[in-house]
Amino acid sequence: MQNPLSEPDPSSKLPYIVKKRLHNALTGIGEASRLIAETIIQIFKPPWQFDLLLKQLLLIGYNSLSVVLVSGFFTGMVLGVQGYIQLKPYAVEGSVAQFVSVSVVTELGPMITAFVLSGRIGASITAELSTMKVTEQIDALEVMGTNPVKYLVVPRFLACSLMLPTLTIFSTFAGIFGGYVAVVTLFDFNGDFFILQVQDHMVIRYVIISLIKATTFGMAIASVGCYKGFSISSAGGAEGVGTATTGSAVTSLISILVLDFVLGATLK
């Protein structure tokens, strides 16, 4: 006979925990989808606040450019070194330029850029909006008749959607240049041949796939950041802001990986 004062069997709580987690996940997906739908509707409704959009474009694009360039450059260097080492035993090291360029354009360019922005911009959006929610600034906007989605979400959503493809282009060039520097400097690879290989194997389809991925990643980062910021309770306080910010970064990273797989399988 079980002692009534003893701790309950943890396995008996498992179905309840799984059910609760699943319910919370589905509820979150539904609320996030509703926020995205409302954002898209508000994009096409006047008045259009270009000053707020320009501010976010500068914040997201210009302020992130240096980090994106450095990340892309060293990613390309790593690809160049590892690609050459792996291809050398098969006597096909001449294909290292194709390996670097195609990998950077179709996969690592948009993904590395999205990772950088998810940690830098996505978390920043969540921290800013959740702080406004805790201090009841969002409630004040509603009282004044201002739509918070129109005023706060739309500029960030558009800026992320526009700037992530733009930054991906810079990251891609930096990555290819990094691969070029690595193999030419370390392995005495012919630089002219490297450039020729990049030109021969780079097709417009790869560029289109890269831009589609980057745009989708930008939408996901903005959507997750804004949803996490709006979903915090007004009584959450500083602890709630920290939890929401951490959750935003983690959710954004997972979303990017899932979307990359889906888009890669769809656009192959």
Q: Stretch 29-46: mean pLDDT, rounded?
A: 88
So where are the chain's domains? 66-266
pLDDT value of position 12 = 62
Q: Model pTM?
A: 0.87
pLDDT value of position 236 = 66
Burial class (CB in 10 A: 0-12, 13-18, 19+), 142: exposed
Q: Stretch 132-148: mean pLDDT, rounded?
A: 87
pLDDT band for 142, please (50, 70, 90 cuts): confident
| DSSP per-residue letters across 101-168 | HHHIIIIIHHHHHHHHHIIIIIHHHHHHHHHHHHTTHHHHHHHTT--HIIIIIHHHHHHHHHHHHHHH
Q: Which amino acid does the sequence have at 87? A: L
Contact at 8 Å (CB) between 258 and 250?
Answer: no
What is the share, in percent, of the chain residues with pLDDT greater than 90? 53
Task: Give the model confidence (pLDDT) of 220-243 as tens digits.
Answer: 999 999 999 888 876 667 788 888
Residue 3 clears pLDDT 60, i.e. is over it: no
Contact at 8 Å (CB) between 81 and 181?
Answer: no
pLDDT value of position 9 = 56
Highest mean pLDDT among 114-128, 156-170, 242-256 belongs to 156-170
Task: Give the model confidence (pLDDT) of 164-201 as tens digits.
Answer: 999 999 999 999 999 999 999 999 899 899 999 998 88
Residue 101 clears pLDDT 90, i.e. is over it: yes
pLDDT band for 1, please (50, 70, 90 cuts): very low
pLDDT value of position 138 = 87
Cis peptide bond upstream of 148, omega within 30: no
Q: How far apart are CA 98 and CA 191, in angstroms?
A: 13
